[in-house]
Structure 1
Amino acid sequence: MTSWKDGPADATALSTYECFDCGTVVEAESNPATCPDCGGELRNRSMPVE
């Protein structure tokens, strides 16, 4: 397993996702794809938006 600068990667760690449309925040192990509130597209908050 490769280590990051701040420690080893944890494949089971929760990521935070945010809905582009309504702003709902969801924590999940993998991308849930759609917002549970409005059906909009979710983005991983740890990834920069270009």
Structure 2
Amino acid sequence: MSSDQVSAHLPAQDAFRGAIRLANDMKLAIVVCDPDGVWKPEWGDLYQAID
């Protein structure tokens, strides 16, 4: 991508799906940061570092 792109506000599930789809299409790794804890277990396992 030659410039940053900002999408409209989306529900968490739609935002995660869009980001994962984009990463898969571009063959890129993706890092999910979820400080608000909105990730749902049925979406898969989300790695969390143990302090």
TM-score under structure 2 length normalisation: 0.22
Higher share of residues assigned strand: 1
Higher share of residues assigned helix: 2
TM-score under structure 1 length normalisation: 0.22
